[in-house]
Structure 1
């Protein structure tokens, strides 16, 4: 975790982080202060009911995301993002000036206009915020950078919300809110001046101001990559899910837990701390790389702890409500509720950070900002739909704890649907779970696997989980060539099919299948994919290497690509190996968390890829540790 905090000492990240932190803080300071004023002092501003005003304010803030996100995405692709960040911060200073004028003239219309402009400020900064990270961070820093941004954003939301509520009543004059906001905006601008240049990927882009056509075009860019688009849908669902929970905190604290106003702050703080911890843990759990296997892990936690929160909530209002914070914490069910909220935030961090990093990594650089703009639009749309659905269910008599339970069950359905469309998420989860529960995987030489372009990986074959272990270590998807009998084995065949493994048979068993396998390998390499093959042709039953077969020579003879030799260590004698008899017959033969390793050597030229030479290299990489 120390490596991601080291980014805060670099000029390519620290000024940007401070800028976005102060922006999120200011948005929530002003928004919450205005909502508090309209809730408790509505008669001093208008004849409208407080309930109408608070919902009107929320709608006004989110409206610019629909109107201007598409344009913001185009601007971030056309112009230097660092310069755009500075211009957006100057706009924020102007907006706080408008707010100060609104407070000075006691004009609700001016204040609501300032709130609308703050929504514009956020919608303009959104594409810059996420599209700039891949330009300033390496791939192995992307998860850590996103984790810091997400953690910082939620902390800024928490502190800004608390500060806004406090400043709303300072010295009997709410103008202090605008003065504080003005100071923060100036600080944000000063921080933005330290952001390094982030050159425009498409400077010749012609900006269209039509929000409808550009929104549809941006969504079209996102849909070009199915994994990216479904990741955006996953992020949007998370914001719907999280916003639904957050919106119920005031009523839940008062009408279910029986707490006072301070208990709302406690619930928000616990949830926010959970998201912060979950976000920051992502880098350690993913070894610094974009590990989408954490996404299913996160969705499982979001479902389980959402359901548990529904059951943990008291059925009857405690005697003596409203209770002080100390009395509320004296009740045993309160601690279970707080733990569920912390866990929801924790697993929410596991869910959302890899998805943001995946979008940044797999989006075309010349369209990245517009794809992120599409993400922001869909986020806003999902949150609005979630708020309307929650209002409808609560209006029909559903209790708040029951609403939490329904949302958690819907989360499970959405997760299963997305993972059925993109099995890569669940496959990476299975691989991640294997190397973090059954084994402790050490990795050496992974930098020798090319980050792009075709290559053939060759490795010794020790166990039935070799492909899963290798897939867990690789940053890129791999097409494995494997014996058709293993490919067809019950249960694990489902995994290998979704991994798009290529079954192969000896010519004496099925010559047609063998030729079809070589054709599929050639097609995969022509498409720039990684293909892995176990040249021994079988899983060892002695722990030693069997002679390598000449299949690799045939492959690179037709499609000359680099050959990357690899060696697995420590799997011999494990549950999935054939030591002392059939595999998978003696559970926990080596216990949990046993050490294994994957060692990757440097590339071998196609002309030198004789079976004997490759076997010599792999044997050297493996050494004496079987």
Structure 2
């Protein structure tokens, strides 16, 4: 796929039929769920004696309960068998589910309708591991964020259109019309699935454990192979707690707080869904075609800020008569409410797309579907808790605006806790801010950094933020060797520790730190990581590249690995270099200045010497300092 357009995936058979099957499933989910919720909210007496608020949260809980019960088995099936076969079987099952829903609508029987909703949850449970497990098998690494963004966009576009269609059907459609529409959408999704190419099973000899609880625990253990992956799954699950809680309240929020009719519910859901779709697509642009987890803290900031503002934007007075969309939009404060909902959705996209891509990127293929199954289990558990939390909070007297405010504040505490456990997220956020707000970052030759395995990166040392700039450009985490004096700089030291930087000092000044640095470097290289050294051994004082120190040759002698030369230019004139002397003289001279990182072809450690390596770095940098 061209890096200029993620939409070119739609021309590929490896992606388009799968996208269509996924989008139709999400569309049908939301047509059915929203028809049911709107009918239960506005025509409750016809279907049930339950209170609308209780029924709304009960329906949400029933839909996600199958994820808790069956995700373990679903993950194993998607590992044992061809994912395409699983997808086709699930889409065929959807047709049967819609037939059950049609019978429930004809009988106006809430029990049958809720049973169909539970079955739709089971449909999504078995679809998810095959869906997300398929993406890294059919997409290149540079396409992974774009593919996830398109899936997320397609999902929420389906939510948007499904919500609109549900509003029309619930307001004007006969139950027979609703039934025909639901079955027709399911048939269309099944037709798309027939064109998905076959894939090789990840573990064809795997024995399926049909016991829900033990299979679920097996999937969770697979996810815990990588601490970062598991904590990312917890972050995804928190997003679904947040999103489920917000979405579940919108019908009653519209009716009882904003004074809107059924069509206003649709407007609110459309705005929220459009926000998520826009945020998901922007991820591809903002991430520079790589998995950029620095967007995750950015997303969490927006999720808190706009939830809090939504509380203060809520009007104090209620219209005497239910308002249609036109009258609703003319009310004072309406546009602020819509803006808050839209931005909650958009920052939700910034939060969820990189986390999904990270889980797919850093999980072994043999366990990926089981990891996705674990993700579904935890997502579901968090959403069940959200449904219980919402029901209990509302029954105890909390208003919906107060519930939304509490959710936004709770999100801030959860985010701080997650980033304290995984500093890499916060580091990437700071790196992303630096190279996208203060500078215009240009990279050349990133393909020369190996996608896996160890390598020693060497680069000229221009300023205090060289490591952050390189870290922001690399698709893989990098361990940096840096002067202990720089490593100890207040504030920056916290960042460098989060990067797992390796401090080094001259042997004469601190022999213990000197020897410890070589031990840590050797261990990181043996473990298959990237290590970066600034071989000049100090920051440049005149903008030129100094002689390379011999310590690097000891590293290559002890652990011979490919050497990747790199060069930075454009940072010498910044506040982060030593050009302007004391710190108070280092205010930014240029806003959004251009900096460049060039990466050369790897060198053989058996033949490279200090002069050759320095010559390569000098040539890569060119005349610009």
Same fold (TM > 0.5): yes
Residues in 1 aligned to 2:166 and 2:331: alpha-carbon distance in whole angstroms: 30
Q: Does 1:245 align with 2:220?
A: no
- Give, in whole Å, the separation in 2 of the partners of 1:105 and 1:258: 31
The residue number in structure 1 matching 2:66 is 64
Between stretches 561-570 and 104-113, larger displacement belongs to 104-113
Question: Secondary structure in 1 aligned to 2:598?
Answer: strand
Structure 1 residue 143, shift from structure 2 partner: 0.6
Q: In 1, distance between residues paired with 2:326 and 2:571?
A: 53
Q: Please name the residue that 1:281 is paired with.
A: 282
- 8 Å CA contact 2:98, 2:186 repeated in 1: yes
Relative distance call for 1:362 and 1:488 in structure 2 (3 A) is same
Quickly say closer, same or farther: Cα 1:143–1:330, change in 2 above 3 A: same
Q: Does 1:17 align with 2:35?
A: no
Secondary structure, in 3 states, of the residue corresponding to 1:264? helix
Q: What per-residue deviation string (whole Å, max 9, x for no partner) do you get for residues 6-33 of structure 1?
A: 1111111111000000011112222332
Question: Helix, strand or coil for the counterpart of 1:608?
Answer: coil
Say whether 1:78 aligns with 2:80.
yes
Is residue 151–residue 279 contact of structure 1 (8 Å, CA) maintained in 2?
A: yes
Task: Give the C-alpha shift of residue 250 in structure 1.
Answer: 2.1
Q: Which residue of 2 aligns with 1:142?
A: 144
The separation in 2 between residues aligned to 1:428 and 1:283, in whole angstroms, is 16
- State the Cα distance separating 1:94 from its structure 2 match: 2.3
**Contact kept in structure 1, 2:271 and 2:342, CA below 8 Å:** yes
2:457 equivalent in structure 1: 457
Map residues 337-348 of structure 1 onto 2, 5 A cutoff.
Answer: 337-348=337-348
Match of 1:612 in 2: 611
Which residue of the partner structure matches residue 302 of structure 2? 301
Q: Does 1:603 align with 2:602?
A: yes
- Provide Cα deviations, 1:39-60, integer angstroms capped at 9, x if missing partner: 5555555666666655544443
Q: For the residues of structure 1 that align with 2:534 and 2:251, how far apart are their CA atoms?
A: 59
* Whole-angstrom distance in 2 between the partners of 1:56 and 1:588: 56
Q: 1:39 to 1:510 in 2, by over 3 A?
A: closer
Structure 1 residue 607, shift from structure 2 partner = 2.1
1:180 is matched with 181
Aligned counterpart, 2:270: 269
Summarize deviations over 1:375-404 as a string: whole Å, max 9, x none. Answer: 111111111211222222223322222222
Distance 1:186 1:251 in 2: 32
Question: CA separation in 1, counterparts of 2:108 and 2:352?
Answer: 41
Q: Deviations over 1:562-586 (max 9, x none)?
A: 0000000111111101114245632
TM-score in terms of structure 2 length: 0.96
Q: 1:230 to 1:253 in 2, by over 3 A?
A: same
**Residues 88-134 of structure 1, C-alpha deviations (whole Å, 9 max, x = no match):** 11111222233344455665554443333222111110111111000
Unaligned runs of 5+ in 2: none
Return the alpha-carbon distance in structure 1 between the equivalents of residues 5 and 148 of structure 2: 13
Aligned-partner Cα distance in 1 for 2:57–2:514 = 65
Q: CA deviation at 1:202?
A: 0.5
Q: Distance in 2 between matches of 1:51 and 1:414?
A: 26
Is the aligned partner of 1:351 residue 2:351? yes
Is 142-151 or 506-515 further displaced after alignment?
A: 506-515
Cα distance in 2 for partners of 1:549, 1:45 equals: 80
Moved more, 484-493 or 422-431: 484-493
Matches within 5 A, 1:190-589: 190-314=191-315, 316-318=316-318, 320-582=320-582, 585-589=585-589
Partner Cα separation in structure 1 for residue 48 and residue 261 of structure 2: 27
Distance in 2 (CA, whole Å) between partners of 1:585 and 1:343 is: 39
CA contact (8 A) 1:482 1:503 kept: yes
Contact conserved, 1:487 with 1:496, CA < 8 A, in 2? yes
Deviation at 1:297, TM superposition (A): 0.5
State the partner residue of 1:624.
623
Q: Distance in 1 between matches of 2:261 and 2:170?
A: 19
1:113-167 per-residue CA deviation (whole Å, 9 max, x = no partner) reads: 3333222111110111111000000111111111111111112123223323433
2:463–2:572 CA contact under 8 A, matched in 1: yes
| Paired residues of 2:293 and 2:428 also in contact (CA < 8 A) | yes
Cα distance change, pair 50–319 in 1 and its aligned pair in 2 (3 A): closer
Counterpart-to-counterpart distance in 1, 2:96 and 2:221:
34
Alpha carbons 2:61, 2:387 under 8 Å: kept: no
- Cα root mean square deviation, aligned: 1.9
8 Å contact kept, 1:292–1:354? yes
How many residues align structurally?
Answer: 623
Asked if the contact 2:95–2:186 (Cα under 8 Å) also holds between the matched residues in 1, the reply is yes
Task: Map 1:68-147 onto structure 2 (within 5 A).
Answer: 68-103=70-105, 109-147=111-149
Question: Structure 1, residues 428-469: CA drift from partner, whole Å, max 9, x if none?
Answer: 111111000111110000000011111100000000100000
- SS of structure 2 residue aligned to 1:588: coil
Change (3 A) 1:481 1:392: same
* Cα contact 1:577–1:584 (8 A) shared by 2: no
Q: What is the distance in 1 between the residues matched to 2:485 and 2:43?
A: 74
Task: State the match for 1:6 in structure 2.
Answer: 8
Paired with 1:196 and 1:465, the residues of 2 have a C-alpha distance of 46
Q: What is the deviation of 1:228?
A: 0.8
Query: 1:415/1:54 Cα in 2 relative to 1: closer, same or farther (>3 Å)?
Result: closer
C-alpha distance in 2, partners of 1:555/1:49?
70
TM-score, reference length from structure 1:
0.95
Deviations 1:495-535 (A, max 9, x none): 11111111111122122221111111111111111111111
What SS does structure 2 have at the residue aligned with 1:479? strand
Q: Partners of 1:515 and 1:402 in 2: how far apart?
A: 57
**1:520-558 deviation digits (Å, cap 9, x = unpaired):** 111111111111111111111111111111122111111
Note if contact 1:249-1:264 (Cα within 8 Å) is conserved in structure 2.
yes
Check 1:165–1:324 CA distance in 2 against 1; reply closer, same or farther (3 A cut): closer
